[in-house]
Amino acid sequence: MKEPTGINRRWAGQVRRRLADVDWRLLSDLVPVPTISLVAFIAPPPTTSLPDLELELAGMLSRAADVRAELDAWDVARTPRLQALHDDPEAGLVRLADEIRAYWAAAIEPYWPRIRALLEGDLLYRARVLAEGGVHGMLADLDANVSWQGERLRLAHRFCQGVRPLDGRGLLLVPSVFVWPRIFSITVPPFQPTLRYPPRGIATLWESERRDPPAALAAVLGSTRARLLAELDQPASTRDLAARAGLSEPGANQHLTALKKAGLCSSHRTGRYVLYARTAVAEALLNPT
């Protein structure tokens, strides 16, 4: 994993140790850093408004017939792993799906409630702006790399240019916390024209701020369990949480087990590591409106 810059540095620092136990070399070859372009079979537009990992992987596995042509057209040096994928697309995609699952478990799943909350908040905001100012107002407010020129929507890409007609197919908007500070687009058939952009508030995504849990929540759960939930501002291990809360590891584990049974936190094992993360229900309890 190459040294990250900017707002995702904190996240990358936390997941680097866990990724050392994960074989994701083929995935790394397909998503080189810095990323200029991607082959379509690894990052097609989502098929539903609430994408599911296994559903998306099933879609990827169904596209074995396109792998060779897309790799041939991709202007990236072909590693031995990419050549093996080219030689046997079916087996290569199965390996790639396994790597994506392992990467997800180590690097994304423990953080997913936080990421999803940010993405859903952005979509709600876009819907409100669309209702108030129409599509021009909504897209003009999307990102500094997106602007209107007459009746054309201009996407400021660093490495490609050209005019792509939508031909009435519409434009699918996909917020992503990992494209910052750029945008990515898909405009080639047979895919739905798609624009991936950084969501609003991304600069605060990985911030960790020590705060006291709401007094009402502490009265219901008890001060210790409420404190543990507040400390789960970022996914953490039992040892880390015990140290922060002034507890023994067995004591912290007992409280975390109770919180997990109540649906307020989840546990994620990756190799030698077990991380706890707040659920969406816990996020709502800690941030009452």
pLDDT attached to residue 262 = 95
Q: Which 3-state string (H, E, C) describes 62-109?
A: CCHHHHHHHHHHCCCCCCHHHHHHHHCHHHHHHHHHHHHHHHHHHHHH
Instruction: Kindly report the pTM of this predicted structure.
Output: 0.74
End-to-end CA distance of the chain: 38
Whole-number Cα distances in Å, 259 to 226, 231, 244, 282, 283: 9, 13, 17, 9, 13
Nearest to 67 by CA among 46, 88, 94: 88
d(CA 252, CA 246): 9
- The per-residue pLDDT for 66 is 93
Helix (H, G, I), strand (E, B) or coil at 155: strand
Q: Which residue has the tokens 């190799």?
A: 271
Q: Mind listing the domains of the chain with CATH numbers?
A: 6-112 (no CATH), 113-204 (no CATH), 215-286 (1.10.10.10)
- 95 vs 85: CA distance, rounded Å: 9
Q: Which of 73-82, 238-247, 250-259 has the lowest mean pLDDT?
A: 238-247
pLDDT in tens, 27-84: 999 998 888 888 989 988 887 777 789 999 999 999 999 999 999 999 888 999 999 9
201 vs 180: CA distance, rounded Å: 11
Which pairs from 14-22 meet CB under 8 Å and 24+ separation? 14/234, 14/235, 15/106, 15/107, 17/273, 18/106, 18/107, 18/270, 18/271, 18/273, 19/103, 19/106, 19/107, 21/106, 21/270, 21/271, 21/272, 21/273, 22/99, 22/102, 22/103, 22/106, 22/270, 22/271
Residues with Cβ within 8 Å of residue 280, at least 6 apart in sequence: 113, 116, 117
Is 5's pLDDT higher than 60? no
Q: What is the pLDDT of residues 165-212, one digit of tens each?
A: 887 788 899 999 998 888 888 887 788 889 999 998 888 788 765 567
Q: For the segment 120-134, what is each residue's pLDDT rounded down to a tens digit? A: 878 878 888 888 888
Structure tokens at 122: 């952005």
